């Protein structure tokens, strides 16, 4: 089994604890200069994501309503409900970048997420997540992780200081041990 450098670093930090020297080596996504502004799904409300993320462990996920992984919405919502009071924030970014699997408008996406999966975690507007025209937050995440999403439901995990501590491919289950252990270590 191959592990990326980031995964090995995360595993080591999770086992040893993140001391000041190790924490400084983690790729920084949110800094005082970062302004990743994005509007909420089907809303005029615009958030500076780093302000929203500040002090929280954040799982960033690119989503799609017509994907084989769409059922992960259910586990993402369960994960959010389980850990939100301890400081976890799950955020979804619908994207139509992969096989036209998120073709709807924002209202239909919001309705689908709420009515089908009871999604309560924050969802943001449709977003480009790959390529040179990807949203700036996704460009930063891909650069820090050394990988952009290759499909829907790719997950990035940030610590409370806005540093990238994990990158998980679509097939990695939100409630699986790999992600829950990383979240618990970061909380």
Can 67 be counted among the known catalytic residues? yes
Long-range contacts, 14-21 (Cβ 8 Å, 24+): 14/181, 14/182, 14/185, 18/159
Q: Domain holding 69: CATH number? A: 3.40.30.10
Q: What residues make up the domain containing 11?
A: 5-186
Tens digit of pLDDT for each residue in 13-35?
443 344 333 455 688 998 877 88
Catalytic residue (choose from 30, 50, 67, 113): 67
User: pLDDT tens for residues 116-162?
Assistant: 999 999 999 999 999 999 999 999 999 999 999 999 999 999 999 99
Looking at the 3D structure of the chain, how many domains does it have? 1
Q: Give pTM, 2 decimals.
A: 0.87
What is the distance between the alpha carbons of residues 60 and 89, in angstroms, rounded to a whole number? 8
């Amino acid at each position: 089994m191959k592990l990326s450098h980031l995964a090995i670093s995360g595993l080591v930090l999770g086992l040893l604890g993140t001391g000041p020297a190790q924490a400084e080596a983690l790729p920084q996504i949110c800094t005082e200069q970062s302004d990743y502004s994005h509007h909420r799904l089907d809303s005029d409300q615009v958030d500076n994501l780093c302000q929203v993320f500040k002090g929280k462990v954040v799982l960033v996920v690119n989503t799609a309503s017509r994907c084989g992984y769409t059922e992960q919405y259910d586990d993402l919502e369960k994960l959010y409900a389980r850990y939100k009071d301890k400081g976890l924030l799950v955020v979804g970014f619908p994207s139509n970048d992969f096989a036209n699997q998120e073709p709807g408008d924002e209202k239909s996406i919001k309705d689908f997420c709420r009515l089908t999966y009871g999604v309560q975690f924050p969802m943001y507007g449709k977003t480009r997540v790959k390529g040179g025209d990807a949203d700036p937050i996704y460009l930063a995440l891909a650069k820090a992780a050394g990988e952009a999403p290759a499909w829907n439901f790719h997950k990035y995990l940030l610590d409370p200081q806005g540093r990238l501590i994990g990158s998980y491919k679509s097939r990695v289950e939100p409630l699986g041990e790999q992600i829950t252990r990383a979240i618990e270590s970061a909380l």
